């Protein structure tokens, strides 16, 4: 017997037929003897419709701009999950499975007061645990809780993943199964490299690097929470047949388990190749090489809401002047250049150069820590294909390389091959 949380997104509950398919997945786990809590999103498209209404309403009412009360936004938008949680409970009951729906305010899932993008503070699990022990399935409306003002608070878009992981932590679940429209985490994007393989296991740290680099399987915030609370998170496809093998079929699990590295017995040196398109590079030439120069540059960037990614500073050759290179999303380049121009005197630089449409390719692997030469392998492989490297940053488990956009696919395939990711 295990206690598990199962999470289904909007595509999985888009209509009555799909909700019944979800119910069959749940029934399978119940019949396997598990205690089950389910977290559901709103029907696909429903949240967008509700959000559109809230945004349009001030304009229809004659206001000159779309300002609205985030607490009303929350009350309106949370109704989508209220509907699907109730419908799934009805479907389960109709299949002979004891179940009830729980709204965020009923459990309660307590959040802070940041309506529209609230953070979960505590989940009172005592009553839920009693019901689970009676083999009643808890169908929980995702994406929502209740704030200190006794009003519904939503967690921001994609928040149902976070709801599921937080619930799993609160009830001490053995596993949190995230059903989504992909069947797991791959060594790289299969659309670029058809030889990409699904990973059976990936560590929280690796997943964080992959998610923030655009793998988009799981919200970054939910992976962070899973790591902090050590919630084993299993990503699988909701389009699998409900009688497909379960997670317990360890030889060939139908998805990817995201877990602590202790659980990954044979660590590969490199686990995957990620990429992020539409990066832009900004270089400042002949900066005074003095303390505080970084703050002078990146303070204005943060104030303008620009998300700076790679930062590379060269050692100055003459002890007086240095160069600084960093990347921002291409869409933010104009704002960034304007901010630099406005602060030119405070920063003190000679010229600024920028280049858009670049790509960041990243080599990720927890085994990198104990293996030398991983970076050198990448550089040599790219050089063999005449791919020019514009900038490099590294962390303990990641090497990121900035290259020209047109070489993105070639670089991903080259790196995927050179680390043998398509052979195992």
Q: Does 408 bind a second copy (CB under 8 A)?
A: no
> Is 181 marked as a binding-site residue?
yes
> Is 9 marked as a binding-site residue?
yes
Euclidean distance between CA atoms 323 and 282, whole angstroms: 11
**Which H or E element spans position 35?**
strand 35-40
Q: Does 194 bind a second copy (CB under 8 A)?
A: no
**Count of alpha carbons within 13 Å of 156, Cβ hemisphere only?**
13
Euclidean distance between CA atoms 95 and 85, whole angstroms: 16
Q: Does 101 bind a second copy (CB under 8 A)?
A: yes
Minimum separation from the CB atom of position 154 to a second copy (A):
12
Residue from 63, 195, 346, 383 touching a second copy (CB under 8 A): that is 63
Angle in degrees, CA 279, 283, 285, rounded to 5: 175
Stretch that binds a second copy, among 95-103, 175-183, 286-294, 385-393 (CB under 8 A): 95-103
In terms of CB distance, is 55 or 380 closer to a second copy? 55
**Which H or E element spans position 20?**
helix 16-31
> Is 191 marked as a binding-site residue?
yes
Minimum separation from the CB atom of position 35 to a second copy (A):
20
Please state whether 143 falls in left (phi above 0), alpha (psi between -120 and 50) or beta: left
Q: Does 93 bind a second copy (CB under 8 A)?
A: yes
Minimum separation from the CB atom of position 134 to a second copy (A):
15
Euclidean distance between CA atoms 69 and 307, whole angstroms: 27
Please list the alpha-helical segments (H only) found in 32-125: 46-60, 70-77, 79-94
Cα→Cα distances 247→70, 181, 199, 276, Å: 39, 17, 14, 31
Euclidean distance between CA atoms 39 and 258, whole angstroms: 18
For residues 1 and 214, is the Cβ–Cβ distance under 8 A? no
> Is 7 marked as a binding-site residue?
yes
Residue from 34, 47, 105, 397 touching a second copy (CB under 8 A): that is 105
Euclidean distance between CA atoms 341 and 70, whole angstroms: 35
In terms of CB distance, is 62 or 319 closer to a second copy? 62
Euclidean distance between CA atoms 349 and 114, whole angstroms: 40
> Is 47 marked as a binding-site residue?
yes
In terms of CB distance, is 88 or 421 closer to a second copy? 88
In terms of CB distance, is 63 or 302 closer to a second copy? 63
Q: Does 82 bind a second copy (CB under 8 A)?
A: yes
Euclidean distance between CA atoms 196 and 204, whole angstroms: 20
Q: Does 135 bind a second copy (CB under 8 A)?
A: no
Q: Which value, in Å, is the radius of gyration of the alpha carbons in the chain? A: 24
Mark residues 13-42: x for contact with a second copy by CB under 8 A, - for none. ---xx-xx--x-------------------
Residue from 2, 14, 90, 114 touching a second copy (CB under 8 A): that is 90
Q: Does 58 bind a second copy (CB under 8 A)?
A: yes
Q: Does 87 bind a second copy (CB under 8 A)?
A: yes
Mark residues 151-190: x for contact with a second copy by CB under 8 A, - for none. xx--------------------------------------
Residue from 57, 296, 410, 418 touching a second copy (CB under 8 A): that is 57
Q: Count interface residues toward a second copy (CB under 8 A).
A: 45
> Is 355 marked as a binding-site residue?
no
Q: Does 288 bind a second copy (CB under 8 A)?
A: no
Residues 6+ apart with CB under 8 A from 276: 213, 214, 309, 359, 360, 362
Residues 6+ apart with CB under 8 A from 6: 25, 26, 29, 36, 37, 38, 39, 164, 176, 177, 179
For residues 209 and 364, is the Cβ–Cβ distance under 8 A? yes
Q: Does 125 bind a second copy (CB under 8 A)?
A: no
The binding site for a second copy (CB under 8 A) comprises: 16-17, 19-20, 23, 50, 53-54, 56-58, 60-63, 67-69, 71-73, 75-76, 78-80, 82-83, 85-87, 89-91, 93-95, 100-101, 103, 105-106, 150-152
- Residue ranges of the binding site for substrate: 47, 81
């Amino acid at each position: 017997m295990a206690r598990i949380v199962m999470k289904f997104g909007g595509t999985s509950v888009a209509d009555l037929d799909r909700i019944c398919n979800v119910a069959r997945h749940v029934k399978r786990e119940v019949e396997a003897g598990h205690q089950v809590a389910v977290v559901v999103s709103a029907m696909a498209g429903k949240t967008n419709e509700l959000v559109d209404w809230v945004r349009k309403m001030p304009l229809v009412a004659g206001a000159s701009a779309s300002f609205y009360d985030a607490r009303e936004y929350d009350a309106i938008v949370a109704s989508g999950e209220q509907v699907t949680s109730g419908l799934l409970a009805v479907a389960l009951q109709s299949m002979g499975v004891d179940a009830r729906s729980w709204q965020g305010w009923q459990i309660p899932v307590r959040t802070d007061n940041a309506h529209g993008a609230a953070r979960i503070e505590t989940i009172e699990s005592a009553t839920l645990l009693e019901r689970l022990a009676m083999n009643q399935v808890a169908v929980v409306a995702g994406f929502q809780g209740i704030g200190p003002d006794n009003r519904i608070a939503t967690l921001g878009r994609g928040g149902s993943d976070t709801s599921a992981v937080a619930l799993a932590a609160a009830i001490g679940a053995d596993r949190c199964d995230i059903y989504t429209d992909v069947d797991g985490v791959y060594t790289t994007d299969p659309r670029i490299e058809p030889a990409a393989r699904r990973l059976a296991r990936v560590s929280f740290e690796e997943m964080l690097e992959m998610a923030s680099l655009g793998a988009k399987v799981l919200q970054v915030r939910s992976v962070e929470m899973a790591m902090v609370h050590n919630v084993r998170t299993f990503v699988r496809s909701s389009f699998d047949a409900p009688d497909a093998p379960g997670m317990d079929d360890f030889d060939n699990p139908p998805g990817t388990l995201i877990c602590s590295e202790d659980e990954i017995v044979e660590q590969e040196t490199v686990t995957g190749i990620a990429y992020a398109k539409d990066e832009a590079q900004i270089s400042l030439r002949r900066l005074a090489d003095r303390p505080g120069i970084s703050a002078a540059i990146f303070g204005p960037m943060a104030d303008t809401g620009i998300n700076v990614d790679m930062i590379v500073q060269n050692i100055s050759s003459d002890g007086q002047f240095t160069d600084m290179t960093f990347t921002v999303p291409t869409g933010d380049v104009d704002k960034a250049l304007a901010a630099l121009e406005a602060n030119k005197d405070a920063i003190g630089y000679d010229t600024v150069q920028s280049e858009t449409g670049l790509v960041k390719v990243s080599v990720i692997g927890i085994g990198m820590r104990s293996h030398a030469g991983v970076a050198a392998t990448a550089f040599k492989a790219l050089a063999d294909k005449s791919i020019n490297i514009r900038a490099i940053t590294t962390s303990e488990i990641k090497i990121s390389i900035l290259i020209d956009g047109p070489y993105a696919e070639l670089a991903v395939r080259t790196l995927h091959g050179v680390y043998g990711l398509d052979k195992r």
